[in-house]
Structures are given as structure tokens and as C-alpha cells.
Amino acid sequence: MTGLVIAATSWPDAMIASFGIVLVAVVVWQVFGTGRTAISSKGEQGYRSLAEQATATQAKTAAALERLTDEVGELRARTQELEKLLKEVG
């Protein structure tokens, strides 16, 4: 004879089991969320370090460019003096 199989648990037991499953799912979800946050912050630290290096390099480049601009100005002044001297002699 085939019959209907009835679960051997009562409603309160089923509710407690359901609540336990939901609780475990939420805990697992939060653990993975925390892991994603940690990975994200490590990546942000890498970008921050890269940005700091780029800023320092830009400052060095700006200083070198300023020095070169001054030197080119001095070379122009000397060249003009030489042109003047050559015009006076020639």
C-alpha cells in the first residue's frame, strides 16, 4: 500500500531549522562581504601609493624643467652677446 509520507517534525522544529538555515546564509554572506572589502582596500592602497609616486615624480620633473628653462635663458643671453660682438667686429 502506498501512502502519504508525513514529515516527522513539528511546525516549531521546522521553523527553528528554517531560521537556522537563514542565519547561516546571512553569516556566510557577511563573511564574503568582509573579504571583498579587505581585497578592495588593498587595491586602493596600491592606487594611493602609485598616485603618491606619480606626484613626487611630477614635482621632480617640474623642478628639472624650471632649471632647464633658466639655463636656456642664460644661453640665449650669451648668444645675443656673441651676435652683438660679431656685428661690432664684422
C-alpha 35/C-alpha 14 separation (Å) is 32
Provide the number of structural domains found in the chain. 1
Query: Are the C-beta atoms of residues 9 and 17 closer than 8 Å to each other?
Result: yes
Whether 57 is covered by a domain: the verdict is no
The predicted structure's pLDDT at residue 8: 61
Question: What are the CA-CA distances from residue 2 to residues 5, 7, 8 (Å)?
Answer: 9, 16, 17
Whether 5 is covered by a domain: the verdict is no
The predicted structure's pLDDT at residue 65: 96
Whether 70 is covered by a domain: the verdict is yes
C-alpha 90/C-alpha 88 separation (Å) is 6
What's this model's pTM, rounded to 2 decimal places?
0.48
**pLDDT tens digits, the chain, 90 residues: what are they?**
455 555 566 777 878 888 889 999 999 988 888 888 877 777 788 888 899 999 999 999 999 999 999 999 999 999 999 999 999 887
* Alpha-carbon radius of gyration of the chain: 39
Whether 76 is covered by a domain: the verdict is yes
Per the structure, the complete domain to which residue 72 belongs is given by 63-90
C-alpha 17/C-alpha 20 separation (Å) is 5
